[in-house]
Structure 1
Amino acid sequence: MRVLLSTYGSRGDVEPLAALAARLRELGAQVRICVSPDEVFAELLGRVDVEVVTVGKPKVALSEPSQESQAAQRAAELAAQYDTVVAAAEGCDVLLATGLAHFSSRSAAEKLGIPYVYATFSPLILRTHHQPPPLLLPGQTHPPGVTDNRALWDLHAQTLTSLYGEALNNHRASVGLPPVENAYDFAFTRRPWLASDPVLGPWPETPDLDVVHTGAWIQPDERLLADDLLAFLDAGTPPVFVGFGSTQEVAADAAKVSIGAIRAHGRRAIVGRGWAELARIDDGADCFVVGEANLQVLFGRVAAVMHHGGAGTTTIAAQAGAPQVVVPQAVDNPYWAARVADLGIGAAHDGPTPTTESLTAALATALSPRTLARARAVAGSMHTDGAEVGAKLLLETAAGGAVGR
């Protein structure tokens, strides 16, 4: 069985595919992955020994659309990745896409007549009357007076089609494919897969979509922590980790206010450099900066994790039983912040721009004995077989030959 996994996004879109690829290989499948040419992704995927096909520009160099004209340009750029994806999919039995790979990947699967699956790692983007849709552009608001979630989702689909539909259909016409009327249904399909932990990111029963909930795709990380990091951990009480993952734009003083809040609680700090290039603010011996590291092990040794609220970071911290402070930056970050607060496993910061005072208060909640006990209890209830479930379902989908709908 030959499988193509296709993504275009941040590390949070790529790392789960590495876990899925590893399980697929264990089941005897041949796996190829389309991904942007970012160096960190090549290193990450090298650990699972799969064939990598680079597509598009480095994701780290791209900014998100802030207006309609930029959104249309982005749609054209994403659709233009079709040639690379369709070539990579030749001879494959199934294609699964995540992130922003939907436009090129679904068209490629349709052209080749192979089964197609779209998977997401956050319930936020999936249509349900239980929640309103996410906003598409910075500064956008929901129409005043419209409070019914189904009506809001209808408007969301119309807006998505107005932003992306023309560019998408122009490309589809150029490769001999028919136009699509609804860009939302085309991008996310009527039967999307949700790869989130059922405890941390549940999906409510709803007639709106036929969602396949597999559980989170987490690849066990067996790398050792660096000797200097281990020495820092062993030199005192458990520190607090702060990092913003693949988020590039954070408050200019994010490191300063975060370390200040950590010090206000008499704790040491581990700063994750990330795409925002966080750094130490002085020469204090109570602060250690890390680049690439095994977070699954590291989070098991810290007092709390302060982060942006990415699906992967939130899940790994929850699995480690580490209390969290989520400072949501964009997209699905507010959803995960709310889940952390609702579950009692940490605190959700109000907005993306923290102060030393606001983080000190949030950290007080995270460092309380009650939060620690709750975080450990939730960790014990989380699922660990999501990638295996997803891999088996994907091979069944390939064998069944049902094209994504």
Structure 2
Amino acid sequence: MRVLLSTYGSRGDVEPMVALAVRLRELGAQVRVCAPPDEDFTRRLAEVGVPMVPIGQSVRAAGAPLSSDLSRHATELIARQFDAVTAVAAAAAGCDALVATGMMPVVAGVRSVAENLGIRYGYVTFHQLTLPSPHRPPLAYPGRPFPPDVDPIPGLDINALFVAALNTYRASIGLSPVDDVRDYVRDYVIGDRPWLATDPTLDPWQETPDFDVVQTGAWILPDARPLPADLAAFLKAGAPPVFVGFGSMPMHVSADVARVAIEAIRAQGRRVLVGRGWADLTLIDDRDDCFVVGEVNQQALFARVAAVVHHGGAGTTTTATRAGVPQVVIPQAADQPYWAGRVAALGIGAAHDGSIPSIESLSAALGTALSPETRTRATAVADTIRTDGATVAATLLFDALSRETVSA
């Protein structure tokens, strides 16, 4: 049984696929992961021994691929994905299933690949905003907000943006053109039984009549890596610090964010732990109450800090919630305002108003997050977070493929 997992996006898009790959392999499947060639992703997949097929260009080097010229970037993204998948044609042709996630133009291309090969296809999302629902507006593309009365179905805007690019590459592999990308996304890319790999407490899904959404729980792989010795020494040397980091977000937040965060945290009488991340955050002075870290085991780290200040990525939000640590979410883009709202609604932290913090605004948010009430609530919610999402998804896919093998 051979499975190809495909994703194009940041660390939050890649890490869950790592978890699924490991669980599928434990069940006996052969798994490969298509992912951008960023060093972080290459190293992570090598750590767990899962073969990686590099696709497209570095996400970190590319910055925000859907910012200024969406139509041009759609063409480029689909081209990269087709080039990558066709470059491993022998492996892809022998696969029994293809599971895809990431940026919609890329996933549309991957769906066409599965269609061409005649293999099982599955779509997964790590937040519900890409799924059609009458209960909320869809996720809009940057610079293209939806009007207030828009029909709440994702894909409405992508028809004009992506139809030419998608059809060019469908024609190149002998497939008929798509008339309406909106219908194609709804009926074939998302499909009638998509996976929602999020925790039901953090991301409660409201049933709709048109889709049989399978909410598996978040796909998380336990991390047993020890914390670096110098970090462990810093943690041991005083009271738990407040962690601040923006993960794999390039610095769309103010370049002054490190100074603002450090001063706001110090104003609360707390030590500071700065996560360098893709924004290359660093310290502002040589005082011994601050420490900077690179890539570390966040599952272990978050359990030892007083609060986490972050951008609101699905993975970081889930990890902090599981750790029972209060959060301040400073959302930057895409689904991050949604996660900020969920953190506030659950009472496990504060949603910062806007993407650029000031010392005053962050201090106010930290005041909420560091209160005893928020700490108590964060501890309680942590006990409700599921840890078996990747196992659930792997078992569903493995059992389905096994039944097809038996009936063939």
**What's 1:72 paired with?**
71
Give the SS at the match of 2:142: coil
In the alignment, is the contact (CA less than 8 A) between 2:96 and 2:119 conserved in 1? yes
Residue 274 (str. 1) matches residue 295 (str. 2) = no
**What's 1:127 paired with?**
132
Residue 12 (str. 1) matches residue 12 (str. 2) = yes
Aligned 1:82-101 pairs, distance under 5 A: 82-86=82-86, 87=89, 88-100=91-103, 101=106
**What's 1:113 paired with?**
118
CA displacement 1:55-104 (0-9 Å, x = unmatched): 1111111123334xx21222212222214224241201100011124023
Q: Which runs of 5+ in 1 are unaligned?
A: none
* Aligned-partner Cα distance in 2 for 1:72–1:209: 29
Q: Please say which of residues 247-256 and 333-342 is displaced more in the overlay.
A: 247-256
* Aligned-partner Cα distance in 2 for 1:113–1:363: 52
**What's 1:256 paired with?**
259
* Aligned-partner Cα distance in 1 for 2:37–2:146: 36
Residue 365 (str. 1) matches residue 382 (str. 2) = no
Q: Cα–Cα, structure 1 residues 385 and 59, in superposed 2: closer, same or farther, change >3 Å?
A: same
Quote the offset at 1:375 in angstroms. Answer: 0.3
* Aligned-partner Cα distance in 1 for 2:52–2:145: 39
Quote the offset at 1:207 in angstroms. Answer: 1.5
Give the SS at the match of 1:33: strand
Q: Please say which of residues 179-188 and 109-118 is displaced more in the overlay.
A: 179-188
Q: Cα–Cα, structure 1 residues 106 and 397, in superposed 2: closer, same or farther, change >3 Å?
A: farther
* TM-score, with structure 1 as normaliser: 0.94
What is the one-letter code of the residue matched to 2:176?
Answer: P
* Aligned-partner Cα distance in 2 for 1:208–1:350: 34
Q: Cα–Cα, structure 1 residues 17 and 102, in superposed 2: closer, same or farther, change >3 Å?
A: same
* Aligned-partner Cα distance in 1 for 2:59–2:67: 16
Residue 312 (str. 1) matches residue 315 (str. 2) = yes
Quote the offset at 1:400 in angstroms. Answer: 5.0
In the alignment, is the contact (CA less than 8 A) between 1:76 and 1:171 conserved in 2? no
**What's 1:226 paired with?**
228
**What's 1:170 paired with?**
168
What is the one-letter code of the residue matched to 2:71?
Answer: A
In the alignment, is the contact (CA less than 8 A) between 1:309 and 1:334 conserved in 2? yes
* Aligned-partner Cα distance in 2 for 1:311–1:250: 18
Aligned 1:385-400 pairs, distance under 5 A: 385-399=388-402
The CA RMSD measured in Å over matched residues stands at 1.5
Q: Which runs of 5+ in 2 are unaligned?
A: none
Quote the offset at 1:143 in angstroms. Answer: 2.0
Give the SS at the match of 2:113: helix
Q: How many residues align?
A: 393
Residue 201 (str. 1) matches residue 206 (str. 2) = no
Quote the offset at 1:29 in angstroms. Answer: 0.7
In the alignment, is the contact (CA less than 8 A) between 1:215 and 1:386 conserved in 2? yes
In the alignment, is the contact (CA less than 8 A) between 1:94 and 1:397 conserved in 2? no
* Aligned-partner Cα distance in 1 for 2:404–2:122: 11
Q: Any runs of at least 4 consecutive aligned residues in structure 1 with deviations exceeding 6 A, and if so which?
A: none
* Aligned-partner Cα distance in 1 for 2:259–2:231: 21
Quote the offset at 1:401 in angstroms. Answer: 5.2
Quote the offset at 1:252 in angstroms. Answer: 1.4
In the alignment, is the contact (CA less than 8 A) between 2:136 and 2:152 conserved in 1? no
Q: Cα–Cα, structure 1 residues 305 and 372, in superposed 2: closer, same or farther, change >3 Å?
A: same
Q: Please say which of residues 279-288 and 170-179 is displaced more in the overlay.
A: 170-179
Give the SS at the match of 1:301: coil
* Aligned-partner Cα distance in 1 for 2:262–2:334: 25
| Percent identity of paired positions between Structure 1 and Structure 2 | 59
Quote the offset at 1:321 in angstroms. Answer: 0.3
Quote the offset at 1:166 in angstroms. Answer: 1.3
* Aligned-partner Cα distance in 2 for 1:4–1:42: 16
In the alignment, is the contact (CA less than 8 A) between 2:66 and 2:141 conserved in 1? no
What is the one-letter code of the residue matched to 1:317?
Answer: A
* Aligned-partner Cα distance in 1 for 2:365–2:310: 12
What is the one-letter code of the residue matched to 1:206?
Answer: T
What is the one-letter code of the residue matched to 2:35?
Answer: V
Give the SS at the match of 1:289: strand
* Aligned-partner Cα distance in 2 for 1:48–1:394: 20
Q: Please say which of residues 341-350 and 48-57 is displaced more in the overlay.
A: 48-57
**What's 2:60 paired with?**
60
* TM-score, with structure 2 as normaliser: 0.93
In the alignment, is the contact (CA less than 8 A) between 1:344 and 1:375 conserved in 2? yes
* Aligned-partner Cα distance in 2 for 1:327–1:208: 34
CA displacement 1:323-350 (0-9 Å, x = unmatched): 0000000000001000000000000001
Residue 341 (str. 1) matches residue 344 (str. 2) = yes
Give the SS at the match of 1:118: strand
Indicate the structure whose relative CO is greater, using CA pairs within 8 Å and at least 6 residues apart. 1
CA displacement 1:350-377 (0-9 Å, x = unmatched): 1101100000000010000110010010
Equivalent position to 1:143, from 147, 153, 156: 147
Aligned 1:266-305 pairs, distance under 5 A: 266-305=269-308
CA displacement 1:164-213 (0-9 Å, x = unmatched): 11110121112111122234324433322100011111111111422111
What is the one-letter code of the residue matched to 2:74?
Answer: A
